Structure 1
Amino acid sequence: MSIAVIAEIEPVPYNEEPVQEALLAAVDRVRSEDAGCERYDLHWDDKNGRFVMVERWADQAALDTHAAGAAFVALTTALEGRLAAPITLRILQPIGR
């Protein structure tokens, strides 16, 4: 069964634009390069001033491969010094049918 991930990314004030650019570049790369990616969509949470990435992966192996992959490594490098806090991840397992 697919695994859902919610990632919250809080930029340092006045770094919203470069963080958004890095995240959008990652969206394109992940969608085209990472096998098992079923969803990788970027959103903005205006109330809390942070980006939210909504992800879905075919299985744990696909998620693990993504976390070690070139696109994610490039993203973490691009975000260095631009985040107010570490990225918050919620990994969700499906229940029911």
Structure 2
Amino acid sequence: MSEPVVVTALFIPVEGKLDEVIAALRPAIAAVHEEEGCELYAINQHPDGTVLMIEKWTSTDLLDIHGAGPAVAALNASLEGLLARPVEVTRLAPIPAGTPMQGEL
């Protein structure tokens, strides 16, 4: 198994579609929380109307399985026509610092 990985996914809704994007994301959150390796899978709204998903996985291997799984496929289908551009996904390697509970996502 590989090291833990943090992921951000930026969703930019088509103008007037923010509520629909959030509604599409909600069922995915519950489904993904049940997946092996998921430590964090949460959405956050920016004041500019974009939505940032923050994820943490125990390994890149399990993240890759998630990415090819049914929850992501269903989410992609439910977002069709709601986004101004493709989702921007970034994988990050945690750098622990400070206290164990506060210094790492």
Paired position in structure 1 for 2:50? 50
Which stretches of structure 1, 4 residues or more, deviate above 4 A after TM superposition?
Answer: none
Q: What's the CA shift string for 1:23-81, capped at 9, x where partnerless?
A: 0111011002x1100000110011x3200001000101111011011111000000011
3-state SS of 1:27 partner: helix
Paired position in structure 2 for 1:13? 15
Separation of aligned partners in 1, 2:83 and 2:28:
16
Q: CA deviation at 1:87?
A: 0.4
3-state SS of 1:62 partner: helix
Q: CA deviation at 1:94?
A: 2.4
Paired position in structure 2 for 1:30? 32
Aligned residues: 95
Paired position in structure 1 for 2:102? none
3-state SS of 2:23 partner: helix
Unpaired segments of 5 or more residues in structure 2? Answer: 98-105
TM (norm. structure 2) is 0.85
Between Structure 1 and Structure 2, the one with more helix by share is 1
Q: CA deviation at 1:90?
A: 1.3
Between Structure 1 and Structure 2, the one with more strand by share is 1
